[in-house]
Structure 1
Amino acid sequence: MTEHKRVAAIDLGTNSFHMVIVEESPEKGIVEIDRVKDMICIGRGSISTKMLNEEAIESGVATLKHFVLLASQHGVEPSDILAFATSAIREAHNRDVFLRRVLEETGLKVKVITGAEEAQFIYYGVRNAVELSVGSDLLFDIGGGSVEFVIADNRRVHLLESRKIGVARMHERFITTDPLSRHELNLLDQFFCAELHTSVEKARQMNIRRAIASSGTAQNIARMIRYMTGRSGEVALNNSSFTRKEFQKLYKPIIGLTSAERRKLTGLDEKRVDLIIPGMVLVDVIFRVFKLKEIVISDSALREGMVIQHLLQRNGRSGPGVRQQVDIRRQSVIELAYRCQWDRQHSSHIARLCRQLFDQLQPLHGLGLNERELLEHAALLHNIGTFISISGHHKHSQYIIINGELRGFTPVEISMIACVARYHRKSPPSEKHELYASLKSKSRRAVDVMAGILRIANGLDRGHRCNILAVEAGIDNGTITLGLKARQEPDIEIWAAERMKSWLETVTGKTISFHHLGRL
């Protein structure tokens, strides 16, 4: 595989044109270089007329000229600029006029994809950002012209559907009143229910209770719910979720507002002031007819799926089943570590010691497999802050983890990993620290235990020589005895671990001692 290859993917949607530029390397994986969006609304008026108007064509061509130039400046070869057109362009009678103009003026060959292809790419994108269930999930992407529905588990796809119920189409077709009248609300609701019938039946057969939503509309709804619930300080939207109860608290007061009143709402994108109404009605219907408990947000969808499939094909890894078994959580941790030039040998050794300590102390702490995994990831990332500076690197590690766009984790899990990494040295957990204090008591208690284990494991590799090969824990009434098997005399490791043990002693209420079991 060629290192540091850059690819640009352009999504020519009904409401907006988006481009993402990424770089792929064997170790760092797929790293986003740039992202740009222009809401030109090429589908405005064309949904009923099936004709792209001249103004929209001019705007579209101008935007694509800028996109191609930007991609070129980032070092993307023309053959690696992908451009796919969706609903509005797909249905326009004069689409060939637009596509010919684009080719002549930008050199860009735009591929018009079917609704099923669009759903397939969305699936590729979502599964690279959110960990799919062993049982099946419903994936949906709310576009301007169409909405794609996918039912899939972590191994395969069970349903791909594209329905012509996008928010721009529905607004143009049904909404004439401001605020939305009860009659038009009922029309929207009934139309959505009729269009979702086959997807609902398939979901019922597969006992689906969770959905994963992509697109700007879903993200904007999630952002407004955050503001409403006082969680606006959270960084990542990806893999965050909201319940039906939380959605209803937002939906009921907003659905009756005028456009001018909605424009004043905190968290609502100004360009979605009108389109958010059919979007919220659709989400309300989806919650109800699919009988969902929650909706999870994915910040990856069509564009990211285009990139992933292009790279797989170029590297000879395309085909059924490819990437289905990838652990996206671990993969994203390793990619972030490589981007920060980590000490792989030391960090992997610390992670192994953490697993041993966690397992042998399990009768004391009572934590489960999820916390074990989070501890391992924190151990792998605990030192990445040295990428910024050795001084205070534990705080830098926390910052990088919070802002590192880890995939597959909930915002709470990312916060826990970041806190544990921070507390591998210097001061232990404290409610004076904002991120730690923001966690619920159950999560804080887990962080306390994991940080205590990581601090000792870090001490046991003080010289970065990977000397300690195994730890054997003995638990008595008031003591924990840690026996160490080592290659060489572990005097320096015991000295360092003694200095780091006090926090875990506080958490467990037991005294910790170390002794050498001999060389291996």
Structure 2
Amino acid sequence: MARITAVIDFGSNSVRLVLFQRTSRFGFKVIHESKQRVRIGEGAYHNGGVLQEKPMERAILALMGFKSIMNSFKVRKVLAIATSALRDAPNRNIFLNRVRKEVGINLKVIDGKKEALLGGIASANLLHLSKGVTIDIGGGSTEFALFENRRVLDTFSLNLGTVRLKELFSQNSDIEGARKYIRQELSNLPNEFRYPTLIAIGGTLRALAKVIQKRNNYPISRLHGYRYSYPIERDFINSIIYSSNSELLKIGIKQNRLDVIRWGVLIFQEIAELFEIDEVVTSGVGIREGIFLFDILRSSGRRFPTNLNPSIRNILDEFQVDDIKVVKHAVRTAHTLFDILQPHLNLDSKFRQLITYSSKLLEIGIKVSFYENSKNGFYLIINRLIYGISHEDSLLVALLVRFSSKSRIADEVLQQYRELLPPKSTIDHLHAIIYITKLLLSDYAPKSKFRFAYIDNRLEIRIYSPPLFQMVIAKFQPLENLEIELIPEFEDSK
């Protein structure tokens, strides 16, 4: 197993390097990212697609820098691909040979369908949606992938891209001409890709999502999995197309994206209107993660096993959770409590998975520092539990872990995140399960020394260990939403 894998994504606009470190068979993390805006397609679309000398020189220098980084990290496996600009270039072989000889990297040019497949694999495996259509607006092309149940069903690629439109239409700021060009290309897209939820991949759509997050005072800064309503944001999105550079800077668009953001948003707007989009889900992953997953999931049908969350797997791997028996005991205890209480507290069965995650990560904050470990756990989960889970669910898990030693979740914290949380009664009931689970694991024993029963609107907990009973009694605080009776079941208690 190659512990560190380098992925190079050579696009029309930028060339990127990502280093992935394997932590286990299905566990991984990103340990380095670099980006160079080489604009390899600059001038090419006015010259029959022929790559120009200056962009090629910039690209060679960028790749030399990447090679130095890879050597420093002792990378043993390199997966390097190139997309639209090189696909279209009549002189691409000349450039590829230069890269091979001068840098020592074998750059593989992939077609549009493979590019779409890679983005689709990443989103299907690392987002929380069971079905969707991805759209990846690049510099020279736009890719679509339809997936369901973590499997990519179909892909499509169109010659629409930010750099391509800039080269063709920016000289006269011909927005209407660009619209006609976009609509003509979109007429080739099969109807099966028209889906009301659109998964947005790529720099343009992430930049757009970041601006929308900011203007709506969204309480979590993470982009991956961020959702917004297209009908609500329609007018704002349209205004970006006609904004001046100073106006774009004011709303948060970065300087280095000013020359292409309008063209990318224009493509997105036309697609959204054609699809009659209701919701946009932003993907923080794309072709680079897809390249990596295509490699590591080759023996499992290009998808993770059912019920495996790669973020949970990585957190447990990286922080070297020592006693897996205790973790499994925590999960069994939480599951038993959930199953007993669910019919009485009217809990949706979907929350059982979140109880699983919370019980697995109950003491993960100690791996950062014992002191204030619950707060450490909260911030670690918010920043690391990102794949295969929604913002709402990740936040809920983080809150359950943060307040797992307290009898209630602080009102000011619930108020801060109110727009992302379920009803308070649901939160209180889930918190009760995690609070009791942690309480009953006070002795860190890998086996149960207690039994549960729900009788007359009361949870009875019968404890068969004197030391555990003493620990529990010392820590126990009554809960507002659940009546609990602690019953000693050992000889000295009679």
**TM superposition score normalised by structure 2:** 0.92
Q: 1:426 to 1:83 in 2, by over 3 A?
A: same
- CA distance in structure 2 between the aligned counterparts of 1:176 and 1:444, rounded to whole angstroms: 56
What residue in structure 2 maps to residue 290 of structure 1? 275
What residue in structure 2 maps to residue 403 of structure 1? 383
What residue in structure 2 maps to residue 11 of structure 1? 9
For structure 2, list consecutive stretches of 5 or more residues without a partner in the other structure.
Answer: none
Shift of 1:416: 1.0
- CA distance in structure 2 between the aligned counterparts of 1:405 and 1:467, rounded to whole angstroms: 28
What residue in structure 2 maps to residue 334 of structure 1? 313
Match of 1:507 among 463, 481, 484: 481
Match of 2:177 among 169, 179, 187: 187
2:176 aligned with 1:202: no
2:291 aligned with 1:306: yes
- CA distance in structure 1 between the aligned counterparts of 2:57 and 2:303, rounded to whole angstroms: 39
- Contact persistence 2:125–2:304 (CA under 8 A): no
One-letter amino acid of the structure 2 residue matched with residue 256 of structure 1: Y
Shift of 1:147: 0.5
Shift of 1:244: 0.8
SS in 2 for 1:45: coil
Q: 1:497 to 1:125 in 2, by over 3 A?
A: same
2:439 aligned with 1:459: yes
Match of 1:222 among 206, 209, 216: 209
Match of 1:41 among 33, 39, 42: 39
SS in 1 for 2:303: coil
One-letter amino acid of the structure 1 residue matched with residue 233 of structure 2: F
What residue in structure 2 maps to residue 237 of structure 1? 223
2:57 aligned with 1:58: yes
One-letter amino acid of the structure 2 residue matched with residue 463 of structure 1: D
What residue in structure 2 maps to residue 437 of structure 1? 416
- CA distance in structure 2 between the aligned counterparts of 1:467 and 1:405, rounded to whole angstroms: 28
Shift of 1:517: 9.6
Match of 1:247 among 233, 236, 240: 233
What residue in structure 1 maps to residue 139 of structure 2? 144
Q: 1:28 to 1:274 in 2, by over 3 A?
A: same
Shift of 1:491: 2.5
**Residues 37-63 of structure 1: per-residue CA shift (max 9 Å, x gap):** 111111111123112111111100000
- Contact persistence 2:197–2:277 (CA under 8 A): yes
- CA distance in structure 2 between the aligned counterparts of 1:299 and 1:123, rounded to whole angstroms: 12
Shift of 1:427: 6.5
**Residues 405-439 of structure 1: per-residue CA shift (max 9 Å, x gap):** 53011222211111101111147311334x76323
Q: 1:113 to 1:322 in 2, by over 3 A?
A: closer
Q: 1:166 to 1:449 in 2, by over 3 A?
A: same
**Residues 196-241 of structure 1: per-residue CA shift (max 9 Å, x gap):** 235351235xxx322212111111111010011011x413211111
Shift of 1:21: 0.4
Percent sequence identity is: 26
- CA distance in structure 1 between the aligned counterparts of 2:30 and 2:211, rounded to whole angstroms: 26
Shifted more, 394-403 versus 422-431: the winner is: 422-431
- Contact persistence 2:385–2:394 (CA under 8 A): no
Match of 2:359 among 379, 383, 390: 379
One-letter amino acid of the structure 1 residue matched with residue 43 of structure 2: G
Shift of 1:453: 1.3
SS in 1 for 2:378: helix
- CA distance in structure 2 between the aligned counterparts of 1:225 and 1:41, rounded to whole angstroms: 27
What residue in structure 2 maps to residue 425 of structure 1? 405
- Contact persistence 1:341–1:384 (CA under 8 A): no
**Superposition RMSD on alpha carbons, in Å?**
2.4
- Contact persistence 2:144–2:155 (CA under 8 A): yes
One-letter amino acid of the structure 1 residue matched with residue 311 of structure 2: S
What residue in structure 1 maps to residue 22 of structure 2? 24
One-letter amino acid of the structure 2 residue matched with residue 250 of structure 1: F
- Contact persistence 2:7–2:79 (CA under 8 A): yes
2:70 aligned with 1:84: no
Shift of 1:260: 3.2
For structure 1, list consecutive stretches of 5 or more residues without a partner in the other structure.
Answer: none
Shift of 1:445: 4.0
- CA distance in structure 1 between the aligned counterparts of 2:355 and 2:467, rounded to whole angstroms: 24
- Contact persistence 2:51–2:91 (CA under 8 A): yes
SS in 2 for 1:480: strand
SS in 2 for 1:506: coil
- Contact persistence 1:235–1:403 (CA under 8 A): no
- Contact persistence 1:102–1:109 (CA under 8 A): yes
Q: 1:436 to 1:356 in 2, by over 3 A?
A: farther
- CA distance in structure 2 between the aligned counterparts of 1:94 and 1:142, rounded to whole angstroms: 24
What residue in structure 2 maps to residue 362 of structure 1? 342
One-letter amino acid of the structure 1 residue matched with residue 192 of structure 2: K
Shift of 1:365: 2.8
One-letter amino acid of the structure 2 residue matched with residue 51 of structure 1: V
- Contact persistence 1:14–1:145 (CA under 8 A): yes
- CA distance in structure 2 between the aligned counterparts of 1:429 and 1:56, rounded to whole angstroms: 56
- Contact persistence 2:124–2:147 (CA under 8 A): no
Shift of 1:499: 4.8
One-letter amino acid of the structure 2 residue matched with residue 144 of structure 1: G
Shift of 1:254: 2.4
One-letter amino acid of the structure 1 residue matched with residue 100 of structure 2: L
- CA distance in structure 2 between the aligned counterparts of 1:327 and 1:171, rounded to whole angstroms: 44
- CA distance in structure 2 between the aligned counterparts of 1:82 and 1:27, rounded to whole angstroms: 18
Number of corresponding residues: 488
- CA distance in structure 2 between the aligned counterparts of 1:168 and 1:19, rounded to whole angstroms: 20
- CA distance in structure 1 between the aligned counterparts of 2:183 and 2:451, rounded to whole angstroms: 59
Shift of 1:186: 3.5
1:262-273 alignment runs, 5 A limit: 262-266=248-252, 268-273=253-258
Match of 2:106 among 101, 105, 109: 109
- Contact persistence 1:6–1:22 (CA under 8 A): yes
2:124 aligned with 1:127: yes
- Contact persistence 1:22–1:33 (CA under 8 A): yes
